[in-house]
Structure 1
Amino acid sequence: MKSYLTELRGLIGNRLLLLPSVAAVIHDHAGNLLLQEKASGEGWSLPAGAIEPGETPAEAVIREVMEETGLAVTPAVILGVFGGREFRYTYPNGDQVEYVVTLFGCRVVEDGGAWTDDETRSLRYFARDQMPPLALPYPASVLFSYTKSR
């Protein structure tokens, strides 16, 4: 079955697409932030993804985190909603998106083991002063405002 996004891309090609999405802020016991290294070579990001039709943002963040990290989470708080020109991104294949991201502070309820998708190369927790650049400009003050994730 084709995904909703794949079907849309078939209709509009690489043109700019406004995309409702979610991202997860997850911290370890020391307050370090979990980041995902993309297998595509795009660098580091928060566990994140698009909201599918019929899915709530909370359901989407639970699904995306499980797929990309193997962690079962509970979304505990909305840390913000981000979008606009700063959240435009062009993928290596030329697909253009402008994300409208609901950013959730999440609490880990179970470590389910390995991730199940092919988007993740590795996972690592980073201290605020050691974070690599992210593809989208989330404010560090927001990323480290919620540390009750575990």
Structure 2
Amino acid sequence: MPISDYYKKIRRKIGTDLIFMPSVAAIIRNDDNDILFQKPHDGEYWSLPAGAIEPGEAPAQALIREVWEETGLRVKPNKLLGVFGGESFRFTYPNGDQVEYSVFVFECNNIVSGELTPIDGESADLAFIKEESKPKLALPYPDFIFKKSASDNAYFQWENNWL
């Protein structure tokens, strides 16, 4: 589903002005350690399978739902890799809608079921790509979260800015 009824109601009230959007994103690996990337229909850049958290949803629930809607895969998140946001995570959609994402990025090494096929019509292309060949992404995720050897600790942006 490209935009939920909840966000449609907000957009009717404020137009294209900037809104905060709690979101989730998944780093999904296949058996060859390639990472799944999604090319949206309305974007020039690739992204991770991702989407907004809806009212009443926990971040992990939103992740499972969003990944299925965009990829046709059922996944089980196994680790929180980091939480990202701020000005560098602002994005303007082709229709002018402005958002500032706060993104929970999860690692999902377990594809439970499904076939790689878009369900909701948002994905123009889905591809497992080697880490070293990752495409240019719409949001500035740090490179280290794509490393298979990422730390066991979740990353929070304040770690480099405040301490």
TM-score, normalised by the number of residues in structure 1 = 0.92
Mapped contact 2:27–2:36 kept (Cα < 8 A): yes
**Unmatched tracts of structure 1, length 5 or more:** none
Match of 1:56 in 2: 58
- Identity score, percent: 50
DSSP 3-state at the match of 1:73: strand
Which is further off, 15-24 or 112-121? 112-121
Structure 1 segment 33-72 matched on structure 2, within 5 A: 33-72=35-74
Match of 1:87 in 2: 89
**Shift of the alpha carbon at 1:145?**
3.5
* Partner amino acid, structure 2, of 1:116: I
For 1:98 and 1:118, locate their aligned partners in 2 and report how far apart those are by CA, in whole Å. Answer: 23
- How large is the Cα RMSD of the aligned pairs? 1.5
For 1:31 and 1:144, locate their aligned partners in 2 and report how far apart those are by CA, in whole Å. Answer: 10
- CA-to-partner distance for each residue in 1:48-106, whole Å, 9 max, x for gaps? 00000111101100000000000001111100000001100011111100000000111
**With CA pairs under 8 Å and 6+ residues apart, which has the higher RCO, 1 or 2?**
1
The count of residues paired between Structure 1 and Structure 2 equals: 146
Match of 2:146 in 1: 143
Mapped contact 1:84–1:100 kept (Cα < 8 A): yes
Match of 2:16 in 1: 14
For 1:26 and 1:113, locate their aligned partners in 2 and report how far apart those are by CA, in whole Å. Answer: 12
Give the direction of change, closer, same or farther, for the CA distance of 1:54–1:86 in structure 2 (3 Å limit): same
Match of 2:111 in 1: 108
For 1:138 and 1:101, locate their aligned partners in 2 and report how far apart those are by CA, in whole Å. Answer: 10
Match of 2:120 in 1: 117
Which is further off, 124-133 or 73-82? 124-133
**Shift of the alpha carbon at 1:146?**
6.1
TM-score, normalised by the number of residues in structure 2 = 0.85
* Partner amino acid, structure 1, of 2:93: Y
**Unmatched tracts of structure 2, length 5 or more:** 151-163
